Amino acid sequence: MDKCKLSCKIGPSILNADLAQLYEESERLLDCGADYLHLDVMDGHFVPNITFGHPVVKCLRAKIPKAFFETHMMVSNPEQWVEPMADANVDQYTFHYEASKDIPSLCRKIRDAGMKVGIGIKPNTPVDVVKEYIDLADMILVMTVEPGFGGQAFMADMMPKVKWLRENYPELDVEVDGGVSLDNIDICAEAGANMIVSGTAVVKSESPKEVMQDMRSAVMKKL
């Protein structure tokens, strides 16, 4: 692993926060040491839940102009929302491999719009499907739950996917998302994940700062 280029980044998911206090919750997490905000966008079609979309993200950006925003697009037509999310000044647009019929074209569209490219895979999707798209992406997201709802149990059997990515692409940002907590951060770190999304474990904690510090420490030991 390239110790010079990889860093640990902790991105709380605000899905489990009080969405009526979205700005305040986001600021609180950033003040506690979050490196970025992981914003779960769901359309009720690709996943059986609806959260929020471009108007909410744009309003949040207006109040938080400098934080790194990653939108996790759990939507059936990710191409449709590239320009709106770019308009909201999103930094990274992460879509699902399973949702796009033309991944190279989508990756180019995202990059041309000024955003970084993330590609996510669901638990039942083999990791090697992303092999031909690695050069087009900034990050690969390995889902450690079925996308769609917060608070699910972490799937440890996804760690071989993370390990495969780290071994084959040592400089690639590899993200894990779903049920990540202090109980399983060590195996995430051991497998090679360096971008950590955590919802419930951080947001519902009495001390989000300490939880994120402990997660960062676990990952840094392996970088």
Q: What is the pLDDT confidence band of residue 141, given thresholds at 50, 70 and 90?
A: very high
Question: Which one, of 97, 39, 99, lies nearest residue 70 by Cα?
Answer: 39
Q: What is the pLDDT confidence band of residue 85, given thresholds at 50, 70 and 90?
A: very high
Q: Is residue 2 part of a domain?
A: no
- On the question of pLDDT at 83 being above 50, the answer is yes
Q: Is residue 130 part of a domain?
A: yes
Q: Is residue 44 part of a domain?
A: yes
Distance, in Å, from the CA atom of 4 to the CA atom of 6, rounded to the nearest integer, reads 6
Q: Residue range 182-199: average pLDDT?
A: 98
- On the question of pLDDT at 3 being above 50, the answer is no
Q: Is residue 65 part of a domain?
A: yes
E strands along 64-205, which residues?
69-74, 92-96, 116-121, 139-143, 173-177, 195-198
Which pLDDT tens digit goes with each residue over 47-61? Answer: 999 999 999 999 999
Residue tagged 């951060």 (tokens): 185
- On the question of pLDDT at 160 being above 50, the answer is yes
Q: From the centroid of its chain, how far is CA 7?
A: 15
Q: Is residue 1 part of a domain?
A: no
- In the prediction, which pLDDT does 30 show? 98
Q: Residue range 64-83: average pLDDT?
A: 98
- In the prediction, which pLDDT does 150 show? 74
Q: Which alpha helices (H) appear in 64-207, and where do they start and end?
A: 82-87, 103-112, 159-168, 185-191, 200-203
Contacts of 223 (CB under 8 A, 6+ apart): 1, 3, 6, 7, 8, 194
- In the prediction, which pLDDT does 5 show? 77
Question: Which one, of 208, 155, 210, lies nearest residue 14 by Cα?
Answer: 208
Domains identified in the chain, total number: 1
**CATH code, 172:** 3.20.20.70
Amino acid at 182: L
Active-site residues, by number, are 40, 177
Q: Is residue 177 part of a domain?
A: yes
% pLDDT > 90, the chain: 94
Mean per-residue pLDDT over the chain, rounded: 96
Q: Is residue 95 part of a domain?
A: yes
* Residue 201, token pair as written in the block: 């474990």
- In the prediction, which pLDDT does 152 show? 86
Q: What is the pLDDT confidence band of residue 1, given thresholds at 50, 70 and 90?
A: very low
Q: Is residue 50 part of a domain?
A: yes
CA 223, 182, 146 angle in degrees (round to 5)?
Answer: 95
- On the question of pLDDT at 2 being above 60, the answer is no
Residue 157 belongs to domain spanning: 9-220
Which pLDDT tens digit goes with each residue over 7-22? Answer: 999 999 998 899 999 9
% pLDDT > 70, the chain: 98
Give how far Cα 121 sits from Cα of 113, 127, 136, 176, Å.
23, 7, 15, 10
Distance, in Å, from the CA atom of 86 to the CA atom of 72, rounded to the nearest integer, reads 13
Distance, in Å, from the CA atom of 152 to the CA atom of 134, rounded to the nearest integer, reads 28
Residues 130-151 as b or e (16 or more Cβ within 10 Å = b) = beebeebbbbbbbbbbebbebe
Q: Residue range 15-41: average pLDDT?
A: 96
Q: Residue range 123-152: average pLDDT?
A: 95
